[in-house]
Amino acid sequence: MKSSLYNNPQLVIESGQTPQGMITWQSPSNLALIKYWGKYGQQMPRNPSISLTLEQAYTQMTLEWGPKDGTDKTIELELFFQQMRHEGFEEELKLRMQKLLEMFPFLHQMRLIVDTFNSFPHSAGIASSASSMSALALCLCSLEDELFGTLSDDVEFERKASYAARLLSGSACRSIYGSAALWGETPGVPDSSDLYAIPMESKIHNVFKSFHNAILIVSQEEKSVSSSAGHQLMQDHPFADARYQQAKQRLHQIMGALESGEIDRVGDIIEQEALTLHALMMQSNPSYILMEPATLTLIRKIRQYRKDTGIPAYFSLDAGPNIHLLYPDDKHEQVTDFIVTELVPHCQDGVYISDKVGEGPVQM
């Protein structure tokens, strides 16, 4: 399949006919169980990844459009973040949206206003690119459909949104689907692709559809390495090839366990993946240690708790110090007690976010 799959020069507005309107989407963040780490070309992943879609950590984005004064080919956009104009994010967004001009050539014919709001504190150290960039991709597909009536088929709509989200931020392509999503070509999964994610809801056991994910905030500081710079570190990484092989093997194993409902098997794999991601960063040049002392304290406590109680609570990490604690719904009460008494004292300002697997984006 070509990487220019959705380029469409016909999506242009006849001069003088730019309408006005607005659309709002709410789109969640997601947690990768098998991590995407390493990319090439136009946001192509070096290995497939699979994630659970979250519920409480989301972006709500309104896109407003109207006629533009000039006829130049720049993107005219104003961005409001949590109700305040944010020129820094505005420039970054325009840069990212440049990658979408061949898919949505009408974008440089209009004036755009993006009003975006995150349900979680910006400083909470949660990657907001998955939720915000998936929300933007959904808004743009809605805009296309409104202007040209080209995306009335839901499957096609979601696929194109996922494709656009990937170009904006890789992990965002997985947020388009509820429960779980797979991104990357995978043997034995016919529809899988490096170009977009596909829904996995029907391929995971019910126990995972109500899984909890408590996000324990160890540090609210900005990440010292952006994920784009992080992916770059895999370029000349001594373990790169072995890592991509390992990710594929682990994906195969975890898909089996997700389908049959083997919580402990899934839990073992996600902990290995989290630690592998950090091991890769420690081994790269320059090297990064993104865990904090409290991250290790929490990991030890979680493992000890599991040993003592037999309750299947497992941790994951993204490219930062915060812990994601995953556990099944029927243990919510006990695990919440454990979080509050044992884990929260190690969180910065006692902050944690109680989240769970959700049903995916909604148009408002």
| Beta-strand relationship, 197-199 and 180-183 | antiparallel
Minimal distance, residue 36 CB to ligand DP6, in Å = 3
Q: Which residue is nearest to ligand DP6 (CB)?
A: 170
Q: Which stretch binds ligand DP6 (CB under 6 A): 53-61, 77-85, 225-233, 236-244?
A: 225-233
Please pick, from the candidates 49, 53, 131, 348, the single residue that binds ligand DP6 as defined by CB under 6 A: 49
Q: By C-alpha distance, which of 346, 239, 328 is closest to 291? A: 346
Minimal distance, residue 229 CB to ligand DP6, in Å = 9
Please, what is the end-to-end C-alpha distance for the chain in angstroms? 33
Q: Which C-beta is closer to ligand DP6: that of 127 or that of 151?
A: 127
Q: By C-alpha distance, which of 29, 50, 32 is closest to 318? A: 32
Minimal distance, residue 35 CB to ligand DP6, in Å = 4
Q: Is 35 in the site for ligand DP6 (CB under 6 A)?
A: yes
Burial classification of residue 244, based on how many CB atoms lie within 10 Å of its CB (0-12 exposed, 13-18 middle, 19 or more buried): middle
Tell me the C-alpha distance between 45 and 31, whole Å.
Answer: 16
Please pick, from the candidates 6, 28, 29, 32, the single residue that binds ligand DP6 as defined by CB under 6 A: 32
Q: Which stretch binds ligand DP6 (CB under 6 A): 17-25, 57-65, 87-95, 169-177?
A: 169-177
Please pick, from the candidates 280, 318, 348, 356, the single residue that binds ligand DP6 as defined by CB under 6 A: 318
Q: Is 179 in the site for ligand DP6 (CB under 6 A)?
A: no
- What tokens appear for 331 in the block? 């243990």
Please pick, from the candidates 159, 160, 209, 231, the single residue that binds ligand DP6 as defined by CB under 6 A: 231
Q: Which C-beta is closer to ligand DP6: that of 288 or that of 338?
A: 288
Please pick, from the candidates 116, 142, 169, 219, the single residue that binds ligand DP6 as defined by CB under 6 A: 169
Q: Is 325 in the site for ligand DP6 (CB under 6 A)?
A: no
Each residue 121-160 as x (binds ligand DP6 by CB under 6 A) or -, in order, gives ------x-x-------------------------------
Each residue 71-110 as x (binds ligand DP6 by CB under 6 A) or -, in order, gives ----------------------------------------
| Total residues binding ligand DP6 (CB under 6 A) | 17
Please pick, from the candidates 128, 227, 322, 348, the single residue that binds ligand DP6 as defined by CB under 6 A: 227
φ and ψ at residue 154, rounded to 5 degrees = -60, -40
Burial classification of residue 263, based on how many CB atoms lie within 10 Å of its CB (0-12 exposed, 13-18 middle, 19 or more buried): buried
Contacts to ligand DP6 by CB under 6 A: 32, 35-37, 43, 49, 127, 129, 169-171, 227-228, 231, 277, 318-319
